Amino acid sequence: MDFQVVVLAGGTSKNLAPLVSKEVPKALLPVGNRPVVSYVLDLLEQSNLKDIIVVVGGADAAVKVGGWISSAYVDRLRVEVVAVPEDKGTAGALRAISRYLTASDILVVSGDLVCDVPPGAVAAAHRRHDAVVTAMLCSTPISGSTESVSSSGKDKAKKPARRNIIGLDVTKQFLLHIAAGTEVNKDMRVQKSILRAAGQMEIRTDLMDAHLYAFKRSVLQEVLDKDLDQKEKFRSLKQDVLPYLVRTQLRSDVLANVTLQAEENGNGMLPSHKNQVMLSQLLANASTPSFHELFALGPNGFARTARKTHKCCVYIASNDKYCARLNSIQAYSDINRDVIGEASHLSGYTFSPQHNSIHPSAEIGSKTTVGPYCIIGEGSQMGDKCSVKRSVIGRHCRIGSNVKIVNSVVLNHITISDGCSIQSSVICSNVQLQERAILKDCQVGAGYVVTAGSEIKGESLAKK
């Protein structure tokens, strides 16, 4: 298909602290006891997209991610891991690796995407429409847009509701308007020229930009080199590049081939006897011309001066597909819950008739119950009279007796002493919970020690 694939894997994302750190870069953060980047790599492999550039923020993080990928995907994928500075943004990351981009089309995927939508379907739609960009959209998760969720219980003060505002044409194939994270109660501005050309626009607030894009390489590189407000380059694909391409689709300055003939004639005019574009010719060659093609012809059905346009397309995943991004702590908890529940087909585990997965090497004490929608990892040990409900427990954990774990994620090499209670929390690797500690709605960073008898609610705990 001649697509080059770029996975933007991030680095040590601050909005995921204390879960992500120098020791555990975002790409290696476990989801369902496997690194989150593995979900995207498996998805690409299933679409036979095996030549991949993985972009990681920070040299140290790139070494860790590259080492894990090399061992996990040996003889399966051809992956080149490239380090970029962490503060570049998604557009800046692509700009930094532009010398690696050589194919005619580029598929850009976020490394925190967990979904079962085949990327090949997005690539096929992109080629079918000869678009400059095709963005994958999917239903917003039930818990709401994950990009605005707070990372700690302290920050849950009510803020104005924010949604992605997306405008589609009547065929739901072309993107007419996009504004990410817009306050719902604010006025929305739409370009009249686009609305007039398209005729109608459907406004959607129930769709999420999945951060999976197909780009025409030449256009992407040209846009990445543009100045934003004469001050700086574009930083974000979602906030800058995609909206720019949508805004300028009827006054395109990014497709050199549409001006080539006019430039050769010296006056910007197309010679009418040879190259005049007629409506009848267009209709003969396309059963359903897009509004871009009709606009290019002008109001009379032909154009002596080329109107330059480009197409911004969408691929909307069907409602039966799973799609979520790990871009907040709330999203991290939600996705872990989903991959042991409704999206368990993505986990890679075989579940028992009780719908749980207990590794054969795990040891479960007397009168301990492991309920449905749970995973117990390799080598973990649980004492007597424990209860685990809707939770993920990682590898080589040591859990005492009379411990309750509910709706939580417990990562690797964690020690939980007798009588502890953990509810709706995330516990990072190498944490110690001393006797009778109680946690609710907490995030505990790697290596932290929770002292005996502590009762903590809604806190983010990390080593100083």
HEC letters along 16-53: HCCCCCCCCCHHHCEECCEECHHHHHHHHHHCCCCEEE
State how many domains the chain has. Answer: 2
428 part of a folded domain:
yes
Residues 313 and 364 both lie in one domain: no
CB 105 within 8 A of CB 4: yes
Residues 320 and 409 both lie in one domain: no
Residues 212 and 314 both lie in one domain: yes
Q: What is the CATH number of the domain that holds 400?
A: 2.160.10.10
Count the Cβ atoms, other than its own, within 10 Å of residue 292.
22
pLDDT score at 150: 39
Site of tokens 């932290």: 448
Residues 410 and 319 both lie in one domain: no
Question: Order of strands across the sheet with 426-427?
Answer: 356-358, 374-376, 392-393, 409-410, 426-427, 443-444, 460-461
Tokens linked to 21: 């750190």
Residues 248 and 371 both lie in one domain: no
Domain termination site, one of 325, 358, 386: 325
Residues 244 and 112 both lie in one domain: yes
154 part of a folded domain:
no
Residue 114's contacts (CB-CB under 8 Å, 6 or more residues apart) are 31, 36, 39, 40, 322, 323, 324, 325, 326, 335, 338, 339, 343, 346
Tokens linked to 403: 């411990």
Residues 317 and 359 both lie in one domain: no
79 part of a folded domain:
yes
> Distance between CA atoms of 183 and 22, rounded to whole angstroms?
34
Residues 122 and 29 both lie in one domain: yes
> Distance between CA atoms of 335 and 401, rounded to whole angstroms?
28
> Distance between CA atoms of 247 and 176, rounded to whole angstroms?
8
66, 71, 79 from 74: Cα distances, Å: 11, 6, 9
Query: Where in the sequence is the domain holding 250, given as residue range(s)?
Result: 3-143+164-184+191-254+309-325
pLDDT score at 451: 97
Q: Specify the amino acid at residue 364.
A: I
Residues 245 and 389 both lie in one domain: no
Tokens linked to 360: 């054969």
Write out the DSSP string of 199-263: S--EEESSEEEEEEEEEEHHHHHHHHTSEETTTEE---IIIIIHHHHHHTTTS--S-THHHHHHH
423 part of a folded domain:
yes
Residues 112 and 212 both lie in one domain: yes
Q: Is the dihedral of CA 31, 34, 36, 41 positive or negative?
A: negative
126 part of a folded domain:
yes
447: helix, strand or coil: coil
Q: pTM here?
A: 0.86
260 part of a folded domain:
no
Residues 318 and 424 both lie in one domain: no
What secondary structure letter does DSSP report for 365?
-
Task: Specify the DSSP element, H or E, that contains 335.
Answer: helix 329-339
pLDDT score at 147: 45
Q: CA dihedral in degrees (414, 417, 419, 424; nearest 10)?
A: -20
Tens place of pLDDT for every residue, the chain, 464 residues? Answer: 579 999 999 998 888 999 999 899 999 999 999 999 999 999 999 999 999 999 999 999 999 999 999 999 999 999 999 999 988 899 999 999 999 999 999 999 999 999 999 999 999 999 999 999 999 999 987 654 444 333 444 444 555 556 788 999 999 999 999 987 765 566 777 778 888 888 889 999 999 999 999 999 999 999 998 765 555 678 999 999 999 999 999 887 766 543 333 333 343 343 444 444 444 444 444 445 676 665 655 555 555 555 678 999 999 999 999 999 999 999 999 999 999 999 999 999 999 999 999 999 999 999 999 999 999 999 999 999 999 999 999 999 999 999 999 999 999 999 999 999 999 999 999 999 999 999 999 999 999 999 999 999 999 999 88
> Distance between CA atoms of 365 and 156, rounded to whole angstroms?
38
Residues 128 and 58 both lie in one domain: yes
Q: What is the CATH number of the domain that holds 222?
A: 3.90.550.10
153 part of a folded domain:
no
Domain termination site, one of 291, 325, 359: 325
331 part of a folded domain:
no
